[in-house]
Amino acid sequence: MFLKYLSELHGVSGNEKDVRDYIIENIDNNVDSYRVDKIGNLLATKKGKSNPAIKVVLTAHMDEVGLFITEITSEGYLKFQTIGYMDVNILVSKPVIINNSVYGVIGSKAIHLQKPEERKQSFLIDQLYIDIGANSKEEAEKNVKLGDYAGFTTAFTSFGSGFYKGKALDNRAGCAVIMELLKQQYNCDLTTVFTVQEELGLRGSKIISNYLNADLAIVVETTSAMDNQEQDRENWVVELGQGPACSLMDQATIYRPELIKKTIQIAESYGIPLQLREGTAAANDAGNIHLAGAGIPTITISIPCRYIHSMSSVISQSDYTNCIELINLILNNCQEYINLPHRGWEVMK
């Protein structure tokens, strides 16, 4: 299963090589060609059955949030900064791995040593460190250097009533979806793009947008599920087990309503559950992709995900498989997306 192996690989933003190598190894027989650009994005092309064919882009980012070593103390502890947006408070006591070989644990002042006022405060990043079991700076430097990356060691597994849990599901789940789709043959020409450094501000897709040309782009992502006890049910944006989500708007993209309507029609016609992502928080690679060249009509299809940007995220198995099936249907019906009238939001009514 692609998703299991992708989840357990380490690929913090800027250090995606292991993920990229795994993808290349497993799509090589299903694509016509591939190349890696100067920043590390992986582009693979697959010719369609039609000639001339509609050109479609599928994209997902390879990178995950993680840690970056910035200092080695005289006692042999490692200071670090986060890469990508993370809640510092969830890091304490978590196991990590550096360079795929050096194990450690994130430490802080033990709670019984904290003053009462300290226990009421959130941790600051400079209060944390990684303990790799070294007794001195010199000993630590034998295995770790400044600029090394640290990732989390969570094992991928299925659990409960049809769920997956693991690290880096944002966005190895999207990568796995595209890899599954590449097993199929479509009428359209496919360009699949596995981007780097999305968690640092959509950097990989910024480069990609300089040379993409397509009739339609589909960004495959994960999105924060709101189905938890902290949220009133009427405020849930998306939830697990109710299908993939189609975005209406985010911080970088306003999605064309006629494309959203067409996606809804296809999902309903084939009995695929579909949610609408109404929230405007965050952004994804669509922000750059839809501005490529003279503009590319773009949609984002996301898998709802709990505890995103943490060392243990959760998705629904049915949402994952329905995401694959929905995009498969879109690709098989991509002609219906071409030359849609450019109308306003009334098309949704």
Mind telling me the catalytic residues? 198
List CB contacts of 207: < 8 A, sequence separation 6 or more.
37, 38, 39, 41
List CB contacts of 339: < 8 A, sequence separation 6 or more.
none
Positive or negative: CA dihedral 311, 316, 317, 319: negative
Tokens of 145: 């250097």
Q: Please state whether beta strands 216-224 and 163-166 pair in parallel, antiparallel, or not at all (unpaired).
A: unpaired
Using alpha carbons only, what angle is made at residue 30 by residues 304 and 158, rounded to the nearest 5 degrees? 35
CA distance 216 to 239: 27
List CB contacts of 32: < 8 A, sequence separation 6 or more.
45, 46, 47
Cβ–Cβ under 8 Å, residues 312 and 166: yes
Cβ–Cβ under 8 Å, residues 190 and 58: yes
Closest among 281, 277, 276, 298 to 205, alpha carbons compared: 298
CA distance 268 to 65: 35
List, as one string, the DSSP characters of 22-41.
HHHHHHGGG-SEEEE-TTS-
Cβ–Cβ under 8 Å, residues 193 and 296: no
CA distance 233 to 129: 38
CA distance 110 to 112: 6
Rounded to 5 degrees, what are φ and ψ at 55? -100, 120
Q: How many CB atoms lie within 10 A of CB 309?
A: 20
